[in-house]
Chains A and B, each alone.
Chain A
């Protein structure tokens, strides 16, 4: 059974991608890992993994009205929760950009006047070869159906021991989709007032969803006492602390996380990898 670890943070720029990539590369030495970049609005993991990718276009269903069958009853307008259909001169006008592809109008039209057609809205790319399996979703700029693409990306069957998901920022629908079905959540926290506020939100979401979690402190400048007391109070283990490091920032800027890890950076992430293995009982999966 593949287990899924989702790396979240609430706040953007806290270090999700760095952590997800570093943990994936190190964990991949011990077991079969697939890294999935589910930050479909701004996917960045492959800037660091540098896998050569095969991409395919993904489509969603959008409604198509047969105006000769439509009698202008307005049922579709009433039921569309996304205001994607309005009645103009007793005929529905469909704004497909607002459509969430729920299929309601086509399946519930009393006249059966609405069918569905495929509409392109993003890409899913997979690594062809290389030392680690990798996949990413990338939504077309201007499309709003990110949760749908994340669901599509994470719904695909995979063969690996551990799937590590680089989640989108925030605590709304995109993040919920990325967290759904997670076996474990790794929360990356930047110990600043902004980072702490967003940590409280993501921790709340992870708890509501019933997902066990642990914290990694990133850009730790030794001023995280409030974070320690909060984690202590909520009984969340802190399994790593990555110091603020100008060398890492420079390596990160050019996409050279592999170099950073090889040249000593692994010392910060190895304890995280060991703890994740224990907390997710990954050793026992080989038995």
Chain B
């Protein structure tokens, strides 16, 4: 089975996608996937060609047929999401629970398969990757992440890839759980700020519950050296692996604009630090496993 590393952070904007992009470049023969389906960014940082796309169908769109509806009010009474107003279903509030559909005594509620987004298969000079784009405001982001991860795994295995690298979503909820499930190890990218640390700790708690190995990376380490030291002490106390610090560099934004990896700026300290971090991550999560 192919090894999979997911890159998460808890807090958004710590540099998950920029680092995933660089790791993808550094790892020969890697396959990648963007599991942040409601804010996909990896594809923007890679010059690529989409070779295949598929609709992501999940859940249903519900509607009430006014010709059949007797306005008995059973659906309104049972809908916990207050999504039925004046016998019309508000799609922003509807959580697709099926209750109105099964509760209606005169079968006036219709449901049709819902297209929640699109999943793209792409190729690039760096390697092949999969990314999902959930329709804005749609449900089922967790299910879509699972589907993206599974498609990527199948693609990676079929192509004989060396490793699958997943760019994860922010937070600690359903999409993060879906991204991290069945991975070999997780990289948590944090930053030396009070919010970066608070969010990292919640992400660590989640991944430890799932019994998956963790490597911690500090990005933009020069914001606050004291807090970097505090993070390193926490990593030690928790028995996690510390993969290194990466300093603030405007080259990360430049890399985004050039659609390349920051490691492309070969003589820069950013490129060196990212390389060192990736070697450390591989040593910890892949070489030492089990």
> Do the two chains belong together in a single complex?
yes
Those of A1-51 within 8 Å (CB) of chain B: 10-14, 17, 41-42, 44, 47
Knowing A10-B39, A12-B12, A42-B172, the reply to whether A47 touches B195 (Cβ < 8 A) is yes
A208, B142: Cα distance in complex, Å: 22
A178, B11: Cα distance in complex, Å: 18
Is A147 an interface position by the 8 A CB rule? yes
Are A81's CB and B98's CB within 8 A?
yes
A12, B175: Cα distance in complex, Å: 14
Are B95's CB and A170's CB within 8 A?
no
Q: 1/0 per position for B173-209, CB-CB distance to A under 8 A?
A: 1111100000000000000111100110010011001
Those of B148-194 within 8 Å (CB) of chain A: 169-177, 192-194
Residues of B within 8 A of A (CB): 10-14, 17, 36-41, 44-45, 59-60, 78, 80-81, 92-93, 95-99, 101-103, 134, 136-139, 141-142, 169-177, 192-195, 198-199, 202, 205-206, 209, 220, 223-224, 227, 253, 256-257
Total interface residues in chain A, CB < 8 Å = 59
Q: Which of A79, A172, A198 contacts B138 (CB 8 A)?
A: A172
A108, B175: Cα distance in complex, Å: 29
Q: Which residue of B lies closest to A12 (CB)?
A: B12
Knowing A250-B224, A253-B223, the reply to whether A42 touches B194 (Cβ < 8 A) is no
Is A86 an interface position by the 8 A CB rule? no
Knowing A42-B10, A47-B194, A209-B137, the reply to whether A169 touches B171 (Cβ < 8 A) is yes
Are B193's CB and A252's CB within 8 A?
yes
Q: Which residue of B lies closest to A146 (CB)?
A: B173
Q: Which of A202, A208, A254 contacts B224 (CB 8 A)?
A: A254
Q: Which of A44, A173, A252 contacts B139 (CB 8 A)?
A: A173
A66, B177: Cα distance in complex, Å: 31
Those of A247-283 within 8 Å (CB) of chain B: 249-250, 252-255
Knowing A144-B142, A170-B39, A194-B41, the reply to whether A104 touches B223 (Cβ < 8 A) is no
